[in-house]
Every structure is written in structure tokens, then in C-alpha cells.
Structure 1
């Protein structure tokens, strides 16, 4: 039996408070839980200039609830998504060749189509949304080499639509909110 909406609202509020979650720029709430002390050397994204050091890996809690979704974005590292609680989350990935893969992240014991973990390869555009708009999804994300906001790119919806017209409806639905 699914949880009642008022129960899910209470659960969401408890998770935000218990884990000290803060609003995330792409939607939802998050908190970094680990930043590896080990450092790795990484060339700049342009391939020129001085290499920089990064944490070997980072991890966060990430909560999607209310009307939030994870808008189209990409990062320079592989990102592993882990399911913890709530309703399944669809992680949509536009591969380098333009094909679309959707990972259904959820309780694999209760949902034959779900997986507990999904990998998004470095440089791929991706977005995520809950399968139940009234529910919440608590997941974790592990990034290696570690996440840096300087390597986070929020999509320009017009450019993404132009380069991936086959997926126009999905891209438009999960586009970043216009800048104010």
C-alpha cells in the first residue's frame, strides 16, 4: 500500500532536517557527506593550462520531492547513483552518440524494472525525475574524481534541443529553470 501524501510530506521534512539537506542548484536538496582526503591530479577541461588537484571521490545525499527534478546537466567525472528510500527515480542519460538511456533507480526487490545503482558516464547530459510526482526519492551520488562545482554545467535547453531533436519532449520537460 503506498504511503499517503501527508505521510510522505512528513518523511521528506524529517529527511531534510535529519541529514541537514540544503537546496541544490539543479533542483531538490543535498548534502555532501564525504570528500576524500586523497588527491588526484587532473588536467584542465580545455587540456591546456596547469593541472589541478581534486579529491579522489566525493559523495552526497540527494532528495527529490515536491515539484523538483534534477535538470539537464553534465559533469567531468563518472557519477554513481545509489537508491536509499522513497519512490523510484528515473535517471535519463543522453549518451555521446545521442541515444537515450533511462535507468530506473529504486528498490530492486519490490520493482523488477529497478536497480539499486546506476552509472552516468563523464561528459554525458543527464536529468532525473521521480516516477511518482506526489512522492519523494532519497538517493546518493558518488563521483570520482571528486565533484567540483567548477566542472558542473547546467544545460542550455535550446542547444540541447537542437542537438537531440528526437528527445525534444523529455528535454523540454526537464530543462533548467530560466535564469532570473
Structure 2
């Protein structure tokens, strides 16, 4: 990622550490204490933009994540829940195929490079916190 894409500028998106561009658009004011004592909002929501040819790195979060399609196609690859990701099933998140795709808590995921720009939202519950984010 070198230049900020026009749509990222329009939506106020910033570079995401995993790749792509993002901005948190909502954070629940209701909090929950998870089993290990962490306190998180019940849910958070972001916009995530993936320009043509870009991908995200293998990563996982400690909460369930639902990808919601807005525009374009994102190929989302699952990598299991072991210590390191292992390339597995690919889901296509798009308005004409799977409009919602669940990535269970603790499962490795990455996006594959596409040929067109794609915009999705990602809903995380319990809410996302970078302390719960792991890059491979």
C-alpha cells in the first residue's frame, strides 16, 4: 500500500496493520466481561476496503467476526485454529454470492488479491480490540 485510494479518502479510511484500509464506524456502548476477565463492548463494526491486487495478511481475533458485503468481491481464506495458519477453504464475500460470512473466534483468516476494489463491513462480537488481534 503506497497511495491512499480515492474511496479510502472519501470514507476516511486509514491503513490497517493486516493490509487494506479501515475505519471503525460503530462501537456498542454496552460492555461484556468475557470468560478470562477482559471487558469488551458487545460488538464493533468497521468498513474495510481492499483495492485491486491487495490482500490482507494471515491474522486472527479472539471474537467471532462476520463479513458483510457492500461492493465488489473479497475472497476470504480460512486457516484453521492451530498455532500457525494452514491454507484452507475460500469463501467469496459479495452481494451476489455469500453476502455474510462468519469467521469463528480464534480462526486464522486472510484475504486473497482480487481484480477489483471491494468494500465490506466487519462486525466483531464481543467487540474488537487490538489486544485480541494476532498477525501470523
Aligned residue-pair number: 130
Q: TM-score, normalised by structure 1?
A: 0.67
Deviation at residue 83 of structure 1 after TM alignment: 0.8
Within 5 A, what are the aligned runs for 1:1-180? 13-44=5-36, 51-86=37-72, 88-96=73-81, 100-108=88-96, 114-132=97-115, 135-155=116-136
* Unmatched 5+ stretches in structure 2: none
User: Would you identify which runs of 4 or more consecutive aligned residues in structure 1 move more than 3 Å?
Assistant: 96-99
- In 2, the alpha carbon distance for the partners of 1:116 and 1:38 equals 27
Higher relative contact order (CA 8 A, sep 6+): 2
1:15 aligned counterpart, secondary structure: helix
Deviation at residue 53 of structure 1 after TM alignment: 1.2
Bigger share in strand: 2
The equivalent residue for 1:3 is none
Larger radius of gyration: 1
- In 2, the alpha carbon distance for the partners of 1:153 and 1:57 equals 19
